[in-house]
Structure 1
Amino acid sequence: MIITTGDRPLTEVAARAERLAERLGVPYAPRGNQSMSKLLSRYGDEEALVVLLQGVRLLRPDRPQLQFHPSMGFVRAKRVLKGESDPMLEAAGMVPGDSVLDCTAGLGADALLFAVHGGERSSVTALESSLPLYALLTEGMAHYASGLVEVDAALRRINVVHSNHLDYLRSLPDNSVDIVYFDPMFREPLEDSAGISPLRAYANSDSLSAESVSEAVRAARKAVVLKEKRGSGEFGRLGFAELLRPGTKTSYGVITIDQRS
């Protein structure tokens, strides 16, 4: 992966791109007036993260363009700000000030919702094992402008970490975070989505392991939550109680920590 900018970038944008490349340990490629295909060919690379003034996109010739945008997370966040309920937050039993570990960040929609609902006293950490997705997420959350002050502030509060979730969970002390959340990529998509389909090419498609769940239960103080297809056998396999939601294609499963034997 290389880090570059759009055509004729502002000095501040070029500086941001260069700092990000240095932090990630990947090449910074000044754009000049080169086409993206020529730039990739020059550096012998397959993908480029393009830093923009208020956004960021991931480009690869053989895959659809992936641009940072909270997507439905933004819609859901606006509902929560209006005082409406959200099934994920209800399943997690989150209250303002809780700490949350999102083990499968993706494009950060769920982490955003946790941060909006949790408020300034909450702590939300989002893990992403894919370096290109991590780069897209950390840069996007730092600079994306949604038009809502509360949403932008919540994005900036999220701590994005480049890590495999099992390794990260193993490093945590017992009872060190209120809620641990998993939303693994469905092996078979429920529906096509312009926002999600490009993500599938980068995201980890492995099944959630029983060891990951065990480590999550050890580290959590209140609950471990899993999002899956409605009626999925993953809930039973991994020890989650499925919360049925009439008329929906997805469900949340919960392991409530204070009810452990």
Structure 2
Amino acid sequence: MLITTSYDPLPEQLEQIALLQRQLTLLKGVDAPPRIIERRRYSMEQLWERYEDPDILLVTRRRIEYYHEQQPALFFHPSTAAIRVKRLRNGEQDTLMELAQTKPGDRILDCTAGLGSDAIVFSYASQATGAVVALESQPLPYLLLKQGLAAYQSDIDGLDEALRRIQVLQQDYMDFLHEQPDRSFDVLYFDPMFRKPIHESSSIKAIRKLADPRPVTDEAIREACRVASRAVIMKEHRDSGELERLGFNELHRSTTKIAYGVIRL
């Protein structure tokens, strides 16, 4: 992997790429230290050809972006979470928050955080008295999420505070669940890579290569039901059959291709 900056970098960008190199070297799942290179006036395509490495982390003045060949750039952004928070502020309902019966003070565990869209909404809905723990086992999504939650600034009241409250851990959710006492979280949430992909989603396409491809197991759901006190919720493609396989007895299929399974406790 290569790390570089945008054209004409500021001193803080140069400091950040050195910090990123150290951070990545320490993360689980990183086989070799990334290499810092000067951007000069090379395009992304020229960098790929010159250094014969398909993976580039680009530190811009606003954010960190990950490039892999011709895939869309991957970076942290609240995206649909910002829209959902705006709707909550306007008194509108959010399907996932309604299914979880989220309220101030709730403790939420997002077992498959990705880039954190649902964790952000959970954090906003559970407010300052609540707590959201977001688990991401894969190094690059974890790094982008952790950096983005700490640095992103929005113009939506309460959103920045919700971002900063989320605790992000690079940990396999099964290992984490085994360590937790019974009923230590109110709601556990899974949003794994869909068994039946939604190919038209560019954001999912960008992260699919980096994400944990393993399906959720029966053991994971049993452990989740032990650790949760109110509900275990899973998001999947509505036609995948995964929710039925795992024993979710309450199914909510939307008019899109998304479905939620709920186990009430």
TM-score w.r.t. structure 2 length?
0.86
1:201: Cα distance to partner? Answer: 2.1
Matched with 1:180 is: 188
Q: What CA deviation, in whole Å up to 9, does each residue of 1:47-100 have, x standing for no partner?
A: 122223332211122533212222212211211122211110111121111111
1:41: Cα distance to partner? Answer: 6.8
Output the CA distance in 2 between the equivalents of 1:256 and 1:13. Answer: 47
One-letter code of the match for 1:10? L
- Given the alignment, which residue of 88, 107, 118 partners 2:96? 88
1:218: Cα distance to partner? Answer: 1.5
Output the CA distance in 2 between the equivalents of 1:28 and 1:132. Answer: 15
Q: Secondary structure at the match of 2:141?
A: helix
One-letter code of the match for 1:252? Y
User: Over aligned residues, Cα RMSD in angstroms?
Assistant: 2.3
Q: Secondary structure at the match of 2:36?
A: coil
Relative to structure 1, the CA distance from residue 51 to residue 208 in structure 2 (aligned partners, 3 Å threshold; closer, same or farther) is same
Name the % identity: 42
Output the CA distance in 1 between the equivalents of 2:103 and 2:260. Answer: 17
Relative to structure 1, the CA distance from residue 171 to residue 62 in structure 2 (aligned partners, 3 Å threshold; closer, same or farther) is farther
One-letter code of the match for 2:34? P
One-letter code of the match for 1:5? T
One-letter code of the match for 1:114? F
Relative to structure 1, the CA distance from residue 43 to residue 180 in structure 2 (aligned partners, 3 Å threshold; closer, same or farther) is farther
Matched with 1:8 is: 8
- Structure 1's unaligned 5+ residue stretches are none
Relative to structure 1, the CA distance from residue 53 to residue 197 in structure 2 (aligned partners, 3 Å threshold; closer, same or farther) is same
Matched with 2:261 is: 253
Output the CA distance in 1 between the equivalents of 2:36 and 2:50. Answer: 9
Output the CA distance in 2 between the equivalents of 1:217 and 1:141. Answer: 28
Note if 1:104 corresponds to 2:145.
no
Output the CA distance in 1 between the equivalents of 2:168 and 2:35. Answer: 21
Matched with 1:229 is: 237
Matched with 1:33 is: 40
- Between stretches 175-184 and 246-255, larger displacement belongs to 246-255
Contact 1:102 1:125 in 2 (8 A): yes
What does 1:36-55 correspond to in 2, within 5 Å? 36=44, 45-55=53-63
- In the alignment of these two chains, the number of paired residues is 257
Matched with 1:120 is: 128
Output the CA distance in 2 between the equivalents of 1:242 and 1:52. Answer: 44
- Between stretches 83-92 and 240-249, larger displacement belongs to 240-249
Matched with 1:164 is: 172
One-letter code of the match for 1:21? Q
Q: Secondary structure at the match of 1:140?
A: helix
1:42: Cα distance to partner? Answer: 7.3
One-letter code of the match for 2:123? A
- Structure 2's unaligned 5+ residue stretches are 26-32
1:205: Cα distance to partner? Answer: 2.6
Matched with 2:20 is: 20
Output the CA distance in 2 between the equivalents of 1:162 and 1:41. Answer: 32
Contact 2:113 2:119 in 1 (8 A): yes
Contact 2:199 2:205 in 1 (8 A): no
1:189: Cα distance to partner? Answer: 2.6
